[in-house]
Chain A
Amino acid sequence: MIQSLLALALVAGTSGWLAVRAIRLLRRGGACSGCSLAPLRPRARG
């Protein structure tokens, strides 16, 4: 019983966090695993 409640709490918390991330993604644009993985980064900068 306690395990089930803890598991559900964890799922609920994670869902909320993922939802916040998704909204942030839509607002500010994407950031993906590769941003710091690029072997040669695009030079839209200095």
Chain B
Amino acid sequence: MTVAAPPVLRTVALVGNPNTGKSTLFNRLSGLRQRVANYAGVTVERRVGRATLGNGEEIRVIDLPGMRSLAPRSPDERIAVDVLLGRRADTPAPDAAVVILNALHLEIGLYLLLEVRELGVPVVACLNISDEAERAGIAIDRGALAREMGVPVVRTIATRGEGMDELKAEIARATLLPRVPPVPLPEPLHGMCDRLRGAWPGTPGDAEIADALIEGPEADGIPDGVRDALRNVRGIETGGRLRDLVVGARRRRIAEICALAVRRAPADPRRDWTRRLDRTFTHPVAGYAIFLAVMGLVFVAMFWLAQFPMDWIKSGISALQRGTVAAFGAGDLSSLLSDGVLEGVGAVVVFLPQIALLFIFLGILEDTGYLSRAVLLLDRPMAAAGLSGRGFVPLLGSMACAVPGVMGTLVIPDVRERLVTIFVAPLMTCSARLPVYSCLIGVVILGAPWVQGLVLLGLYVLGAGSAFSLAWVLRRARRRAARTDFLVELPPYRWPTWRTTGIQLWQRVRAFLRRAGTVILGIMVLLWFLEHHPRSADPSRQLEESYAGRAGKIVEPALRPLGHNWKTGIGILTAFFSAREVYVGTMGTVYGVDGAGDDATELKERMKAERDPATGRPHWTLAAGLSLMIFFVYAMLCSSTVVTVFRESGSWRWALLQLGVMTGLAWVAAFAVYRAASAAGWGVLP
């Protein structure tokens, strides 16, 4: 009996510049049939899916990281090139490549298309985001484009699924075509490529070798054995002449093709409107003022609008606590559930409306197109700090959480610059700091919501300013590298789509609640035990004599100069071993056990009621509150980030140095603020 061999699964790679809608297209093709893992040895996402073509054939689809050209400048681009050339053991060589072009910026995409086509792999060009291009008055003659490039061109709108059938049909045709010999390069380069080919492992394409010649032996991602050969060959030709030969030739060809295939209608009024708005929003002076005003408004609105839902949540949690005590009666389990779990988790969950509002506003700003202008504005101070534009997205990502921010630094090609970005990323204000700031602002800033909002804005600005300043210091101390290119796309202004904002908001709310219901809940259970054991003979000294109290007392000497006692010590310890927002949960349970301000139900009121046993004065003065906020701006109170920095930088030395520097900076800054605020008379009354 013979068993039929399983049909060979053909493979298609999706290639494109960043922001061409490549991932949306991948999702359209593969639906839910996709697997996401990492490429071996690096934290670059490897996304592979299955798609069924019109003829019923099943194919494998690989979504490659976005890249601008085949000259790899960063590890993720290196992987994309390796996959395309079939050089990775963990990924099959593609039978065809789909090059996705953003129809709004055809010239940029055509460069990559020319390069991929030169490799000899069958190519399908996919003209995506066609609807926006047409609205912008850009008419692309697909026939002319296909004729000039020698590849089929499909018009798609991936967000709506338009053009997918035609794309699948072209993919089916392309995967059956054989690879053709790579396109020869101009004569002087041809000879040099031949001389280099022997030193190169595998089977490099001419285009790849030419890019290596242009970029030079110091460029990232060039196989080590090739560097020496490259130095010798480069001794013959200068980079500038080569650049002109290859890049210049390609650019001229692209200009010819665009002249034939692209027609631009006179700017429509909407585009014109966008240009007029851009002149104001990206103005070197007014732009920054508007940006600060917008963010100030966001924070003030956040404080003002969140008051009501926060009150509802507080009442709900109090009712649950009363119900728990009524149901279980007095006892350990009742205490654990009411004083530990509900008190601690409730103290964090109460800030959900503020976090949700912040993300609603940020979602709207992103959707309208304003956030891209903010990116452009912030590129200037970053450039002054010596940070590459490519570091911007990781730093902005760190404003949600430093963990994906640090992982995102992989897009930075220069190793030293990448380390500097990793070093400063945790200084950006992450969403875990928000409950802490909100809690402390509620306790010590007694003004109207707009005053509280502005204080919060100040803390965000301080975090970002400190990150840029520290980067500037570190960059000056180290070798200066050339700034890498950074392109930011400025989409036309548009009304936000409520569906997109709503879906994003739901994902974020769900993530916050999941975390509150898992890790924070677990830590609160553990903390309850540490606060209630060993049992003290004197119930009023229970917290002080508990394991948690003793641990707090150990760190108290370091916190005294900052105006804080062992209770804050417990909060900082739990935050350090888990994450920052746990500080708020810890304070909930600490003040619950301690019974300070017993009549008050709210954590804020309990904290305000605390007195210094030595002086009898309120403990939570403005000076004490400010010093702790400043401490949280700088301190690395997040174990996940420490571990991630270790993994991404490849050494504990860098992670521990960062931990030490940030802790030292936090202590010194908090001490200075406490002293200055006390001297100003803010250390007496809250």
User: Which A residues between 17 and 46 are near B, CB-CB below 8 angstroms?
Assistant: 17-18, 21-22, 25-26, 29-46
Dominant SS among interface residues on chain A: helix
- Asked if residues A44 and B410 are in contact (CB atoms below 8 Å), the reply is yes
Residue of B nearest to A35 (CB): B404
A3–B334 touching, CB < 8 Å = yes
Bound complex: CA A33 to CA B403 (Å):
9
Q: Is A42's CB under 8 angstroms from B511's CB? A: no
What are 23 residue pairs bridging A and B, where the CB atoms are less than 8 Å apart in the complex? Answer: A6-B332, A7-B331, A7-B335, A7-B529, A8-B332, A11-B525, A29-B643, A30-B640, A32-B402, A32-B403, A32-B579, A32-B640, A33-B401, A36-B507, A39-B362, A44-B45, A44-B76, A44-B407, A44-B408, A45-B47, A45-B63, A45-B65, A46-B47
> Which of A4, A30, A46 contacts B403, CB < 8 Å?
A30
Contacts of B431 in A (CB 8 A): 33-34, 37
Instruction: Contact check, A29 vs B519: say whether CB atoms are below 8 A apart.
Output: no
B363 near A: Cβ within 8 Å?
Answer: yes
Q: Is the CB of A11 within 8 A of B529?
A: yes
Considering the chains assembled together, what is the distance between the CA atoms of A35 and B511 in angstroms?
A: 8
For A14, what are the chain B residues with a Cβ–Cβ distance below 8 Å?
A: 522, 525-526
Counting chain A CB atoms within 10 Å of each CB, which of B14, B371, B396 scores highest? B396
Contact between A44 and B44, CB atoms less than 8 A apart: yes
Give Cα distance in the complex from A4 to B647, angstroms.
Answer: 41
One of B331, B362, B522, B639 near A3 (C-beta < 8 A): B331
Closest A residue, CB atoms, query B578: A18
Question: Contacts A38-B400, A44-B43 known; A33 to B432 CB distance under 8 Å?
Answer: yes
In angstroms, how far is the closest chain B Cβ from the Cβ of A41? 6
Chain B residues numbered 388-439 whose CB sits less than 8 Å from any CB in chain A: 393-394, 396-397, 399-405, 407-411, 430-432
Partner of B639, one of A25, A33, A39, A40: A25
Identity of the chain B residue whose Cβ is nearest the Cβ of A15 in the assembled complex: B526
- Digit string of B361-400 for contact with A (CB within 8 Å is 1, else 0)? 0110010000100000000000000000000011011011
Residue of B nearest to A25 (CB): B643
B281 in the interface (beta carbon within 8 A): no
Please tell me the size bucket of the interface on B: 35 or more
A42-B639 CB under 8 A given contacts A14-B522, A33-B432? no
Instruction: Compute how far the CA of A18 lies from the CA of B522 in the bound complex, rounded to whole angstroms.
Output: 7
Which chain B residues (237-280) contact chain A, with CB distance < 8 Å? none
Residues of chain B within 8 A (CB-CB) of A38 are 397, 400-401, 404-405
Smallest CB gap from B509: residue in A: A37
Stretch at the interface among B18-26, B285-293, B467-475: B18-26
Per CB-CB distance, the 6 closest pairs between chain A and chain B, nearest first, are A34-B401, A42-B408, A30-B640, A3-B331, A46-B63, A45-B45
Contact A36 B511 (CB under 8 A): yes
User: Closest chain A residue to B365 by CB distance?
Assistant: A39
CB distance from B345 to the nearest CB of A (A): 13
- Check if B403 sits within 8 Å of A45, measured CB to CB: no
A44 to B363, CA, bound (A): 21
Please determine whether B403 and A34 come into contact, CB atoms closer than 8 angstroms.
yes
Q: How far is the CA of A10 from the CA of B333 in the complex (A)?
A: 9
Do B644 and A33 touch across chains, with their CB atoms under 8 A apart? no
B328 within 8 A of A: yes
Q: Is the CB of B643 within 8 A of A30?
A: yes
- Among residues of A, the one whose C-beta sits closest to the C-beta of B396 is A40
- From B334, which residue of chain A is reached at the shortest CB distance? A3
Give chain B interface residues in 497-542, CB to chain A under 8 Å.
507-508, 510-512, 515, 519, 522-523, 525-526, 528-529
Given A18-B523, A42-B394, decide whether A7 and B408 contact each other with a Cβ distance below 8 A: no
How near does chain B come to A24, taking the closest CB pair, in angstroms? Answer: 10
* Cβ of B359 under 8 Å from chain A: yes
Apart from A3-B332, A29-B407, what 7 extra A-B contacts exist at CB < 8 Å? A3-B334, A8-B529, A18-B522, A30-B640, A39-B396, A42-B393, A42-B411
Residue from B65, B366, B404, B647 having most chain A Cβ neighbours under 10 A: B404
Interface string of B196-225 (1 = CB under 8 A from A): 000000000000000000000000000000
Nearest CB in chain B to that of A44: its residue? B410
Bound Cα distance from A6 to B602, whole angstroms: 28
Most buried by B among A10, A41, A46: A46
Identify which of B401, B409, B643 contacts A26 (C-beta below 8 A): B643
Q: Is B115 an interface residue (CB 8 A)?
A: no
User: Cβ of B411: which chain A residues have Cβ within 8 Å of it?
Assistant: 42-44
CA distance A44 to B331 in the complex (A): 51
Q: Are B26 and A46 in contact (CB under 8 A)?
A: yes
With contacts A33-B515, A42-B405 known, is A10 near B336, CB below 8 A?
yes
Contact B410 A46 (CB under 8 A): no
Q: In the assembled complex, which residues on chain A have CB atoms less than 8 Å from the CB atom of B544?
A: none
Check B528 against A11 for contact (C-beta < 8 Å). Answer: yes
Q: Is the CB of A35 within 8 A of B401?
A: yes
Q: How far, in whole Å, are A6 and B400 apart by their CA atoms in the complex?
A: 38
Q: Which residue of the partner chain, among A3, A37, A44, contacts B511 with CB atoms under 8 Å?
A: A37
Q: Which of B19-73 contact A (CB under 8 A)?
A: 22-23, 26, 43-45, 47, 63-66
B548 within 8 A of A: no
Residue numbers in A under 8 Å from B430 (CB-CB):
34
Q: Name the A residues within 8 Å of B638 (CB-CB).
A: 32
Complexed CA–CA distance, A9 and B231 (Å): 67
Give the CA-CA distance A15 to B525 in the complex, in Å: 8
Chain B residues within an 8 Å CB radius of A8: 332, 529
Contact of A30 (CB < 8 Å), options: B14, B23, B644:
B644
A37–B408 CB distance below 8 A = no
Q: State the CA gap A18–B527 with chains docked (Å).
A: 12
A37 and B522: CB pair below 8 A?
Answer: no
Task: Let me know if B621 is at the binding interface, CB within 8 A.
Answer: no
Contact of B23 among A7, A29, A33, A45 (CB under 8 A): A45
Q: Whole-angstrom distance between the alpha carbons of A45 and B336 in the complex?
A: 43
Cα(A2)–Cα(B23), bound, Å: 55
CA distance A21 to B639 in the complex (A): 12
Q: In the complex, which residues of chain A have a beta carbon less than 8 angstroms from the beta carbon of B14?
A: 46
Q: A26-B643, A38-B397 are in contact. Are A43 and B526 (CB under 8 A)?
A: no
Q: Is there contact, CB below 8 Å, between B64 and A32?
A: no
Contacts of A4 in B (CB 8 A): 331-333
A21 to B410, CA, bound (A): 25
Smallest CB gap from A18: residue in B: B522
Cα of A14 to Cα of B47 in the assembled complex, Å = 35
In the complex, per-residue mask of B66-91: 1 if CB is within 8 Å of any chain A CB, else 0? 10000000001000000000000000
A37 and B406 alpha carbons, distance in the complex (Å)? 15
Do B23 and A37 touch (CB < 8 A)?
no
Give bound CA distance, A6 to B332, whole Å.
8
The interface bits of chain B over 1-30 (1 if a CB of A lies within 8 angstroms of the residue's CB, else 0) are: 000000000000010001000110010000
